[in-house]
Amino acid sequence: MTDAAELRRRTEEFLAAHPPATTDRLDFLRARFDAGLAWVHFPQGLGGLDAPRSLQAVVDAELEAAGAPDNDPRRIGIGLGMAAPTILQYGTEEQKRRFLRPLWTGEEVWCQLFSEPGAGSDLAALGTRAVRESGGDWVVNGQKVWTSSAHLARWAILIARTDPDVPKHRGITYFVCDMTDPGVEVRPLRQITGEAEFNEVFLTDVRIPDTHRLGEVGDGWRVAQTTLNNERVAIGGMRLPREGGMIGPVARTWRDRPELRTHDLHQRLLTLWVEAEVARLTGERLRQQLVAGQPGPEGAGMKLAFARLNQEISGLEVELRGEEGLLYDDWTMRRPELVDFTGRDAGYRYLRSKGNSIEGGTSEVLLNIVAERVLGLPAEPRTDKDVAWKDLAR
């Protein structure tokens, strides 16, 4: 079995053969994937070594110390955190070998075509249709919304309704959609910050080969749960240093600007600092649990905490800075590659945090998940679970 010493030896040999200072960045990343040092818990030949997930930190530390380039994980977070685990669990061998390498190296960006104007919190009510033709291909029509990075993506993970005659959770199928295909139209959604990192996507007679289906026909809801559970862990369980995230700028302002301090703000800062540290340590425990298997509904709790903390901390920062905190000087529509809080003012952080309780699953839905799947409380009465989707009121 591969252990930490073996991984250090492999990493040292890899670095000797591919010196970071003289090796092209993309060549280095491709070689790292082929050497099994991309995500060590993945199978051999797919970027891994069938090693324990916890040993990834050993490889990362050795590579970081050597000044090796990374794959810009924030830019390709949807691919790494959501698409890859789903493809690994449900994809065919051909799909895994086609998609995982360029996904990990960042050569191909991914997005997520799940939410719709009429199916956000109630995702299973989605109406985008995929109809199979006699030749086996699928023709997709519909609209998706709140799609991060759609304007940059080559591929998308997509769920669509393939059988309207069964209850809503059972008539869904999961696909991989080529965002460059005819019939895919991406339109920007301008946010309160002026940015347009989100998009709405219109699908008009988009043809998807059956070889780009993940899982069985009609089993898309189960496949999607793998994606959603990983998404919540990716958002709520981000590894942060102490005073990382939004608590860092507030703490620095408090230390550097004593004239802004009041007793009440001090008490609130201390409370939020402790809560941020608790969330950080809880996230570490959650990542340790991932070593034992797939992420479960516990990730919903972490994502809830992340959203609430970001909003409360950013609100405190604006209040601490007073009139200065309200400044926001650039409403120009921008199309960023990723959300970047570093170097941004307090006004931006406050406005952007409002989306945290919506993206990755609304807080209201996540509260239900925690109540039912973590605490074991009775589920809310639902009258539509056994009704065919086509008969539901819309």
Dist. CA 274–CA 3, nearest whole Å: 35
Tokens 């492999």 sit on residue: 10
Residue-wise pLDDT for 76-133, tens only, equals: 999 999 999 999 999 999 999 999 999 999 999 999 999 999 998 889 999 999 999 9
Spell out where the chain has E strands.
110-113, 129-132, 138-144, 155-161, 172-178, 184-189, 198-208, 213-214
Task: Name the band, by pLDDT with cuts 50, 70 and 90, for residue 291.
Answer: low
Q: Is 364 a catalytic residue?
A: no
Q: How confident is the model at residue 328 (pLDDT cuts 50, 70, 90)?
A: confident
339-369 residue pLDDT tens: 666 667 898 889 989 888 888 778 888 888 8
For 250-299, the DSSP string reads HHHHHHH-GGG--HHHHHHHHHHHHHHHHHHHHHHHHHHHHTTSS--THH
Q: Contact 130/208 with Cβ under 8 angstroms?
A: yes
For residue 338, the model assigns a pLDDT of: 66
pLDDT reading at 292 higher than 80: no
Ranges of CATH 2.40.110.10 domains, the chain? 109-217
145: number of Cβ within 10 Å: 20
- Give how far the C-alpha of residue 109 lies from the chain's centroid of Cα atoms, to the nearest Å: 12
Residue 288 scores a pLDDT above 80: no
Catalytic residue among 116, 197, 231, 298: 231
| 8 Å CB contact between 269 and 261 | no
Beta bridge pairs of residue 31: none
CATH class of 109-217: mainly beta
Fold for 225-374, please state it. Butyryl-CoA Dehydrogenase, subunit A; domain 3 (1.20.140)
How far, in Å, are 179, 239, 321, 371 from residue 383 at the CA level? 36, 40, 49, 19
CATH 1.20.140.10 domain range(s) in the chain: 225-374
